[in-house]
Amino acid sequence: MIIVLEPDLEHPEAVVQHIEESVSRYPGVTTRPYQFAGDRHHLTEIHIIGSTAQIPTEPFETIPGVLRVVRVTSRYRLIGRHDDHTRTAEFTYNGVTFGDRDVLVFAGLCAVDTREHVDSMMKALAAHGITTTRMGAYKPRTSPYDFQGLGKDCLPWVFELAGKHGIRMIAMEVTNDRHIDEVRQALETAGRPTGVMLQVGTRNAQNFELLKRIGQQREFPVLYKRGMGITLEESLNACEYVAHEGNPDIVFCLRGVKTHLGDPHRNLVDFGQIPVIRRQTRLPVCVDPSHSVGRMVFAPDGLPDIIHTVGQAIIAGATVVLVDFHPHPEKALCDGGQALRPEALPRFLRYIERVRAAYTDVVRDTGPTN
């Protein structure tokens, strides 16, 4: 059972205490409060865990400050939408708000290689008012002989350059809990010129110890990439682990699934599942067209498959895009064959803006069709 308080209460503690006292009368249940901070509203929820069937909802509904009481039927207690379309999926980190309103584009290098490439990529983003990027420092690679990423050594100058170009958030994969400490330490030493979203890669989609460690901190939000060889349900349960440990600020990213039925793309593009995730959970949905399509090939209309799949994602309601760019794809040390060039950025952004406008129109004009 979840008790949702009215947003922006001045003294939510008093209401929380009142509820906790009332709940303590029932045996075998515990309470756990959660805070959700968006830029428009702060929400508090009290989760009642255990044998809640015995607890009536009415007495709680009448407590001043309580907005509503939700009986949880799905396994996704924390990330679930619970049939409540008004339940917020919004959170703000370092001035960037995730949610349903705007589309955020995290364009950048798959793997950090040189200072010059990072500088010129961030410069291009800044020129188009983009404050979010991707920069891989720790690269999980299929072969031990492939470039493994520059690791913590590149963090000082990546963060410094981000500050220089007004980048507010970098999506950066961590494969080990030590990396979280390294990122935190490097950010501190650099004077916090930017922020980081911790990325869980597809290869770690069920690394429960890593998921728990990431969930045990709330300093950084989380970008969870769907497991390439597991079910959607298993991936959503992995996100529930992160939230259960204490961090509900999660973005769920589709990046394709591994099957030869997806050939000739690198993975079978799974963006048709966007409405499923949005129906079942309140997580903002991200798509990664680069790791799903995996190659720079063009349709007869002249647009790369990567751009077409972004369009398919936006028209289905995705609000975050994680995409590989590189100033010189031929020199990239990882995944250069799927990188767009910064010169393509203005067209790419215009395309997203137009498809998003089409989505907004379609939703407004069509409305529910059931």
In the complex, least distance from residue 368 CB atom to Mn ion, rounded to whole angstroms: 39
Residue 201 binds ligand PEP, judged by CB under 6 A: yes
Question: What's the token pair of residue 78?
Answer: 């924390």
Query: Which of 202, 235, 247, 338 contacts ligand PEP by CB under 6 A?
Result: 202
In the complex, least distance from residue 310 CB atom to ligand PEP, rounded to whole angstroms: 15
Q: Residue 90 in contact with residue 40, Cβ under 8 Å?
A: yes
Q: How far apart are CA 97 and CA 88, in angstroms?
A: 12
In the complex, least distance from residue 201 CB atom to ligand PEP, rounded to whole angstroms: 3
Q: Residue 327 in contact with residue 121, Cβ under 8 Å?
A: yes
Binding mask 135-154 for ligand PEP (x = CB under 6 A): -x------------------
- Closest to ligand PEP by CB, 278 or 291: 291
Q: Residue 133 in contact with residue 106, Cβ under 8 Å?
A: yes
- The span of 123-131, 160-168, 196-204, 269-277 binding ligand PEP (CB under 6 A) equals 196-204
- Closest to Mn ion by CB, 41 or 258: 258
- The span of 40-48, 65-73, 87-95, 195-203 binding ligand PEP (CB under 6 A) equals 195-203
- Closest to ligand PEP by CB, 1 or 200: 200
CA dist 344 → 255, 316, 349 (Å): 21, 23, 9
Count of residues in contact with ligand PEP, rule CB under 6 A = 10
Cis check: omega of the bond before 264, within 30 degrees of 0:
yes
Report DSSP letters for 182-233, one per residue.
Answer: HHHHHHHHTTS-SEEEEEEPGGGTT-HHHHHHHHT--SS-EEEEPPTTS-HH
Binding mask 218-257 for ligand PEP (x = CB under 6 A): -------x-----------------------------x--
Interface positions, 93-122, toward ligand PEP (CB under 6 A): 110
Binding mask 164-183 for ligand PEP (x = CB under 6 A): ---------x----------
Residue 207 binds ligand PEP, judged by CB under 6 A: no
Cβ-Cβ contacts under 8 Å for 343 (sequence gap 6 or more): none
CA dist 235 → 114, 181, 214, 224, 253 (Å): 34, 25, 15, 9, 10
Residue 5 binds ligand PEP, judged by CB under 6 A: no
Q: Residue 29 in contact with residue 49, Cβ under 8 Å?
A: yes
Residues that bind Mn ion (CB under 5 A): 110, 335
Cα 150 from chain centroid (whole Å):
24
- Closest to ligand PEP by CB, 81 or 134: 134
CA-wise closest residue to 358 among 310, 325, 323: 310
Residue 225 contact partner, candidates ligand PEP, Mn ion, none, CB within 5 to 8 A by sort of partner? ligand PEP
CA-wise closest residue to 214 among 189, 239, 188: 239
Burial of 232: CB neighbours in 10 Å, binned 0-12, 13-18, 19+: middle
Residue nearest to ligand PEP (CB): 201
Residue 207 contact partner, candidates Mn ion, ligand PEP, none, CB within 5 to 8 A by sort of partner? none
Binding mask 254-293 for ligand PEP (x = CB under 6 A): -x--------------------------------x--x--
- Closest to ligand PEP by CB, 142 or 366: 142
Amino acid at site 53: A
Burial of 340: CB neighbours in 10 Å, binned 0-12, 13-18, 19+: buried
The residues that touch ligand PEP, with contacts defined as CB under 6 A, are 110, 136, 173, 201-203, 225, 255, 288, 291
